[in-house]
Chains A and B, each alone.
Chain A
């Protein structure tokens, strides 16, 4: 950090270095560290009316976390536990789908597409994201609705004859989530794959490797950092998504963020909401770290 500061100071002058340094510190501290500390502290408190705050009842407690596991009664809080498990499971599934979709696109973009066609692909990827998230989610709803384009087309082609409820089956949700963060998957992979010397691919081909072998032995190991960084972002953001699950989720399926939202907004129980938010964060981070351990990705590779 000190070296970085000295480097910037040397190149751009002390004033600029101080400005950048303090802006970054302020940003990290005010916008990231402080609110998180506030959340953590709050999650260990009772939800008290303003009058009692600071009074004798305002003590440290684990009750908010206990509630997540045991609910009010003696048994397990199976509803909330199940919502978390489902959220994590679906987020993993969405991440894997995105990996499968984005790797080929990133590879083609980096190593096959040239000039005009590459620019067109990038435009085609970026432009839809000018439309805001809520509108995009509603567009998916229309697309997947019982009278939506997919049902109409499917039935017109005679593939099925009763409208299929994609919303209830959560197909619309999975599709919407998978699409929502696709760029955050493509660009890290693209970055990684693009750095691969094309001669290595040709050398592998020349030595008799099939396309599958080229990817398994040469491209994938090289792109591991990019894959990990894309997967981490997509997983974290999907698990933390709110708009898409709210709009596209089936009537009987809750997303964990919706629980957090309910505690904050409907129940006005901020301490419990904080506890739930932290549970989601910790579980996601633990899973990311576990994943990196399993796939032997060094932590530094994520930043590449």
Chain B
């Protein structure tokens, strides 16, 4: 069964410190929902609140429409996978997986059978008698998932479960987690500071900063249509140019850069600006282009250096307004750019977001 999760204006304070600030959202049954934000922004706190280890200072947590206040973690239909997995080192792999059944008084034989099923699901069939320490990082990861699934929870909560793995394994586990979620069909609530993970796996992503939800959207919209400066700068690489609004017509904003140049972009989040508003225009490195005769939104710049990365080339440039980054696909033509070259860049107004200047994510 799948259940919805509603966070109804949830605020969590520790003393005078507000870790989670008025979070109001609902997560559909069967959804893969991610909270994405930098370390310390309150993600774990929010997850612990859903699982019942912390009560909200204000607001309500509803699971399947039922108010969870006063219901302990052992009584909620959630299973939490901890950042460090928290497997029991003194128990075998099978005993770890069967632990939730053991505490529910399931007989030894049924426990073993269910553990074997789950071991099969996580591709560790026949390894139930091993010690946890004998498994590799990725295998332990899967054991933690199996243990959480053993109770047949309605909602699986995952706290940066891949952060301890090396890059290759992490990339592999992303696909695997997504596949497991599809297979078991549960609601997954996933926490991460890694935007790649969030974008690849999730149905929807909530970007968090300092306890506040900045934007909730499908991954493509988070990347292509950021609603705040924080989201634009936290998710993916971007070029930011500060300026003042000159005019706005419908969604198209004209931004006057300090250099006197005027560029055009789309107003993020359907905002209406007044002339003179301090705004920032964000352009992705791969969406900057070398200007042709008819392009507008032109930015003259000179090449600082070029990084060759196989399929792409990353080029740093010095423009009058700021340092820029440009990513060019390797199209087989020999590289004709060299440091010091002067060139003109341009970008399509459709892909550039104009957002109120505000706090930005640290690089």
Complex CA distance for A202 and B53, rounded to whole angstroms: 8
Task: Report the Cα distance A210→B147, complex, angstroms.
Answer: 17
**In the complex, what distance in Å separates the CA atom of A206 from the CA atom of B52?**
8
Is B90 a contact of A197 with CB atoms below 8 Å?
A: no
Q: Is A300 in the interface zone, CB < 8 Å from B? A: no
Complex Cα distance, B147 from A206, in Å, reads 11
Contact at B82–A203, with CB atoms within 8 Å? yes
27 cross-chain CB contacts under 8 A: A197-B84, A199-B82, A200-B88, A202-B73, A202-B82, A203-B80, A203-B82, A203-B86, A203-B88, A204-B99, A205-B74, A206-B51, A206-B74, A206-B79, A207-B79, A207-B103, A207-B147, A207-B148, A207-B150, A208-B74, A208-B151, A210-B74, A210-B103, A217-B91, A217-B102, A218-B88, A222-B90
Interface centre among B53, B79, B86, B104, by most A CB within 10 Å? B86
**Within 8 Å of chain B (Cβ to Cβ): is A285?**
no
A176-211 Cβ-contact flags toward B at 8 Å (1 or 0) = 000000000000000000000101101111111110
* Residues of B bordering A, CB below 8 Å: 51-53, 72-75, 78-80, 82-84, 86, 88, 90-91, 99-100, 102-104, 147-148, 150-151
Residue among B51, B52, B91, B100 facing the most chain A CB atoms (10 A cut-off): B100
Q: Which residue of B lies closest to A211 (CB)?
A: B74
Q: Who on chain B is nearest to A203 by CB?
A: B86
Residues on A lying within 8 angstroms of B by beta carbon are 197, 199-200, 202-210, 213, 217-218, 221-222
> Apart from A206-B73, A208-B103, A209-B103, what 19 extra A-B contacts exist at CB < 8 Å?
A199-B84, A200-B86, A202-B73, A202-B80, A202-B86, A203-B88, A204-B103, A206-B53, A206-B80, A207-B99, A207-B147, A208-B75, A208-B100, A208-B104, A209-B99, A213-B103, A217-B88, A217-B102, A218-B88
Q: Top 4 nearest A-B pairs by Cβ distance?
A: A199-B86, A207-B100, A203-B86, A209-B103
Measured between alpha carbons, how far is A210 from B102 in the docked complex, in Å? 11
- Assuming the contacts A202-B73, A208-B74, A208-B151, asked whether A217 and B86 have C-beta atoms less than 8 A apart, the reply is no
Looking at chain A's contact residues, the main secondary structure is helix
Instruction: Report chain A residues within 8 Å CB of B72.
Output: 205
Nearest B-chain residue to A208, judged by Cβ:
B74
Query: CA of A210 to CA of B104 in the docked complex: distance in angstroms?
Result: 10
Q: How far is the CA of A202 from the CA of B83 in the complex (A)?
A: 12
User: B74 and A207: CB pair below 8 A?
Assistant: yes
Q: For the complex, give the distance between the alpha carbons of A209 and B150 in Å.
A: 13
Bound: A210/B80 CA distance, A:
16
> Complex: how many Å from CA A154 to CA B84?
52
Cα A206 to Cα B79 with chains together (Å): 6
> Complex: how many Å from CA A218 to CA B95?
12
B48 CB to closest chain A CB (Å) equals 8
Shortest Cβ distance from B72 into A: residue: A205
B78 and chain A: residue at smallest CB distance: A206
Enumerate chain B residues within 8 angstroms of A202, measured Cβ to Cβ: 53, 73, 80, 82, 86
Within 8 Å CB of A209, what residues of B? 74, 99, 103
CA distance A34 to B74 in the complex (A): 58
Measured CA separation A209–B72 after assembly (Å): 11
Taking CB atoms, residues of chain A closer than 8 Å to B100 are 207-208
- B90 contact set on A, CB distance < 8 A: 221-222
Min CB gap A11→B, angstroms:
29
**A221 / chain B contacts, CB cutoff of 8 Å:** 90
Residues of A contacting B73 in the complex (Cβ-Cβ under 8 angstroms): 202, 205-206
Chain B residue nearest to A200 in the complex (CB): B86
Q: Name A198's closest neighbour in chain B (CB-CB).
A: B86
Write the nearest CB–CB distance from A204 to chain B, whole angstroms: 7
| A221 CA / B88 CA spacing, docked (Å) | 10
Which residue of chain A lies nearest to B51 when distances are taken between CB atoms in the complex? Answer: A206
Residues of A within 8 A of B74 (CB): 205-210
